[in-house]
Amino acid sequence: MRILFLQLLCAACLLLPTVSAYSQVSAPSRTVVVSASRAEEELAQVGSSVSVITAQEIEARGFPTVADVLESIAGVEVVRSGPLGGNAAVFMRGANSEHTLVLIDGMEANDPISPNRAFNFADLQSDNIERIEILRGPQSTLYGSDALGGVISIFTKTGSGAPSAKVSFEGGSYDTFTERAALAGGDRALNYSLGIQQLNSGGISSASNRDGNSEADAYSNTSLSGKLGGWFNKNLGAVASVRYLHGRADLDNYGGVGGDDPNRELVRDQLFTRVEIKTDLLDSRLKQTFGVGVSSQSFDDDNDPDSTHVGEVLRSQFNSRLTKFDFQNDVTISDLLRLVVGAESEEERGDSSYFSDGMFGPFSNDLEQHSVRTNSLFLDSRLGGESGPAANAGVRYDHHETFGSKVSWRFVPFYRFADSGTKLFSSIGTGFKAPSLFQLYSSYGNENLSAEKSLGLDAGVDQQLFDGALNVGVAYFWNRFNDLISFNPQTFISENIARARTQGVEASAAWNVSTSAQVKVSYTYTDTQDRDSGESLLRRPRNKLHTELQLQATPKLHLRASMDIVGRRFDNDFSTFPATRTRMGSYTLVGFGASYQIDPRFEIFSRVENAFDREYEQVLGFGEPGLAAYGGLRVKL
- The domain tally of the chain equals 1
Domain that holds residue 433: 2-537+545-636
Q: Is the pTM of this model over 0.85?
A: yes
- Angle among Cα 15, 18, 23 to the nearest 5 degrees reads 110
pLDDT of residue 108: 97
pLDDT of residue 17: 35
* Tens-place pLDDT, residues 560-614: 999 999 999 999 998 888 889 999 999 999 999 999 999 999 999 999 999 999 9
Of the listed ranges 28-42, 137-151, 159-173, 288-302, the one predicted with least confidence: 28-42
Of the listed ranges 46-55, 483-492, 538-547, 596-605, the one predicted with least confidence: 483-492
CA–CA separation, 351 and 175 (whole Å): 36
CB atoms within 10 A of CB 189: 11
pLDDT at 9 over 80: no
Average pLDDT, integer, range 518-527: 97
* Tens-place pLDDT, residues 233-288: 999 999 999 999 999 999 998 898 988 999 999 999 999 999 999 999 999 999 99
Phi, psi of 14 (to 5 degrees): -70, -30
Query: Would you give the distance in Å from CA 28 to the centre of its chain?
Result: 23
Q: What CATH number does residue 433 fall under?
A: 2.40.170.20
> Which residues is 552 bridged to in the sheet?
558
pLDDT at 324 over 50: yes
Selection from 19-28, 307-316, 533-542 with the highest mean pLDDT: 533-542
**Taking the C-alpha atoms of 93, 95, 98 and 99 in order, what is their torsion angle to the nearest 10 degrees?**
-70
What is the maximum alpha-carbon separation in the chain? 73
Average pLDDT, integer, range 181-192: 97
- Above pLDDT 90, what percent of the chain? 86
* Tens-place pLDDT, residues 390-434: 999 999 999 999 999 999 999 999 999 988 999 999 999 999 999
pLDDT of residue 488: 87
pLDDT at 316 over 90: yes
pLDDT of residue 492: 86
pLDDT at 14 over 50: no
